Chain A
Amino acid sequence: MKKKIRLRINGKKVEAEVATSRLLIDFLRYDQGLTGTKEGCSVGVCGACTVLMDGEMVSSCLALAVFADGHEITTVEGLAKDGELHPVQKSFIKYGGFQCGICTPGQVVAAKALLDEIPKPNEEQIKEWMMGNLCRCTGYYKIIESIQKAHQFAK
């Protein structure tokens, strides 16, 4: 069964007809071609599929595409503005906040949501916020450092 949805993705108006059983992550990746968002665990634990709905973090593997009807979705593709990377992206590059990269889009989107609420978070705040973003490579130190220093790149 299909349903028509209207939403904004990274600031752009989108109208689409989706199967009611379409997951938000599959809608973004396969219907919209936004493959930056990754699927890891498929059960809302690993954080790789993190996107923002109206500015708040959600697991796109647990949300139906129809949930996004009438809402604003932000994916990793929507962070850079006019070809310039978001401060948190610059910071991840400068301070080496990733290794293999599979968890990175989720990490970056989650970190963006944190910085929107707390521009200069301390280590405790970062650890609590980022708890649901798993990384098997870095041991997290570089991710925490990248988030802590992201404010340096803010205009």
Chain B
Amino acid sequence: MIAFEYRTPKSLKEVYADLREFGTDAKLIAGGTALVIMMKQRLVRPSCLISLRAVRGLNNIAQKDGGLKIGGLATHREVEISSLVRRRTALLAETYRHVATIRVRNMATVGGGLAHADPNQDPPPTLIALGATVKASSADGSRVIPIEEFFTDYYETVLKPEEIITEIYVPKLPAGSGGAFLKFLPRTADDYATVSAAAVVTLDRSKKTFADVRIALGSVGTTPIRAREAEAVLRGQPVKPEALREAAEKAKAAVDPISDFRGSSAYKKEMAGVFVRRALEKAVAGLTARKAKAKTSRPAPRRRRR
């Protein structure tokens, strides 16, 4: 790694001042699990790292307007084990649990992960399906960005150099909603997905018709992809296997995966359809079956000292 200055601001105000001083020569660092690798490989060579590790008050997870707000500096592990997240939006906790290994989740932050914008990540498809928003803040104020508009290209987002992700908001789902996130892992459990799919469905009172559907996929293009046409064929339609198969076909048409060691482009496309169908089936099954007791054999939550 080449030499760089290391700043440790304690507040957002100090972060903004450091950003103003260094401009695009600076990189923000929080968990560092992605950036440190890129710096070791000299893909990124900032002249200054502005560490967010000592900035206080940005790692809270709390209820807001019936939904959940998650501070940009909350770690993946904190979201995974938060009893509030598990109770309110279990799908989100479950999705974050799929990311890499515990030691990475202990470090990597929610905001950092999104800003990194690798299209192979797990949380973005679920956050898109849940209709989440990202709050980006700078010295000039804050703006709220729907997460599906946040990613623009491989490792690229709409964030401006002077902005930092301060909060993610996940709205409350309507009654009769449920979701699923599936990650296709033919190699190892801590790998990036070959294909991932998230589905959030809302059934009407009879539980026989789709009132609303949101579908998003990961690892199938330069950004996470929302499959709007697949959603459209289901909205207002009866819950039937043929409808799910048709949606799966539409999802295949929406993706554009690259061939790599996790599979050929054609194979990933085929799997995108399969995993969208399975995610829809799982989401529907969770709503129509009597609530099965979720088995939790996982370690008890523990708060990180800061």
Q: Which residues of A contact B (CB under 8 A)?
A: 1, 3, 19-21, 23, 42-45, 47, 50, 54-59, 62-64, 66-67, 69, 110, 114, 117-118, 122, 124-125, 128-129, 131-132
Given A1-B4, A21-B3, do A62 and B304 touch, yes or no (CB 8 Å)?
no
Determine whether B100 belongs to the interface, using a CB cutoff of 8 Å to chain A. yes
Determine whether B305 belongs to the interface, using a CB cutoff of 8 Å to chain A. yes
Interface 1/0 per residue, B1-14 and A, CB below 8 Å: 11111101000000
Cα A132 to Cα B104 with chains together (Å): 9
- Contact yes or no, B33 A44, CB < 8 A: yes
- Contact yes or no, B37 A62, CB < 8 A: yes
Interface 1/0 per residue, B43-68 and A, CB below 8 Å: 00000010101000000000000000
Cα A58 to Cα B101 with chains together (Å): 10
Cα A42 to Cα B38 with chains together (Å): 12
- Contact yes or no, A117 B3, CB < 8 A: no
- Contact yes or no, A44 B305, CB < 8 A: no
Among residues of B, the one whose C-beta sits closest to the C-beta of A70 is: B54
Of A47, A110, A131, most buried by chain B (CB within 10 Å of CB) is: A131
Among residues of B, the one whose C-beta sits closest to the C-beta of A110 is: B103
Q: Which residues of B contact A (CB under 8 A)?
A: 1-6, 8, 32-33, 36-37, 39-40, 49, 51, 53, 100-104, 106-107, 189-190, 297-300, 302, 304-305
Of B49, B102, B304, most buried by chain A (CB within 10 Å of CB) is: B102
- Contact yes or no, B106 A58, CB < 8 A: yes
Cα A114 to Cα B103 with chains together (Å): 12
- Contact yes or no, A54 B304, CB < 8 A: yes
Cα A47 to Cα B104 with chains together (Å): 10
Cα A20 to Cα B190 with chains together (Å): 29
9 nearest CB pairs, A to B: A132-B101, A21-B1, A20-B6, A57-B103, A117-B299, A56-B106, A54-B305, A62-B36, A1-B3
- Contact yes or no, B189 A131, CB < 8 A: yes
Given A21-B1, A44-B33, A124-B297, do A59 and B103 touch, yes or no (CB 8 Å)?
yes
- Contact yes or no, A47 B101, CB < 8 A: yes
Residues of B within 8 A of A122 (CB): 297
Given A20-B6, A21-B1, do A62 and B102 touch, yes or no (CB 8 Å)?
no
